[in-house]
Amino acid sequence: MVDEEIEALLRRGMWMGKDGPPSWALTVDQLNAVLDKLQQLGVPILGGDLYEHVGGVLRSAYMSWYSDLKADETEAEYACRSVAETREYLKSIAEIANKYLYVAVIGECRTREPVGRIPNLMDE
């Protein structure tokens, strides 16, 4: 159920599997729209990479961030903090981000399996 909800959220973005890593890239606006839902589902954001949309292709912008689980933190606390850190990072790059950047994020569901990469679509 959680995986299906996350997949539906990520499908709003651009599939990078053919020319990049097997994951979805969302515009900053798209990502901001789904962060609340990811937090509500208890999905922490492990980090993400930024991409430029140039000539119809996504290319690395060589910018990224990450968030690690702290030893004294519950998964719910981690989900809240990592989403807040993602929002702060996006705010810090807002001047350039909305112009041409896509964001590929990796989250983690309660089973500690990565989400954001959808194996059954990798060969499409």
How far apart (Å, rounded) are the C-alpha atoms in residues 33 and 58?
21
Residue-by-residue pLDDT tens, the chain, 124 positions:
567 877 787 888 888 777 666 678 888 888 888 888 888 888 888 888 888 888 878 888 888 889 999 999 998 899 899 999 999 998 888 777 665 567 777 665 444 444 444 333 333 3
The structural domains of the chain, with segments of one domain joined by +, span 2-113
How far apart (Å, rounded) are the C-alpha atoms in residues 85 and 90?
9
User: How buried is residue 70: exposed, middle or buried, by Cβ count under 10 Å (0-12/13-18/19+)?
Assistant: exposed
* Contact residues for 93 (Cβ-Cβ < 8 A; gap 6+): 50, 63, 101
Output the DSSP codes for 59-108. Answer: EEEEEEEE-PPPTT--HHHHHHHHHHHHHHHHHHTHHHHHHHEEEEEEEE
How far apart (Å, rounded) are the C-alpha atoms in residues 31 and 26?
6
**pTM for the whole thing?**
0.75
So what's the architecture of 2-113 in CATH? 2-Layer Sandwich (3.30)
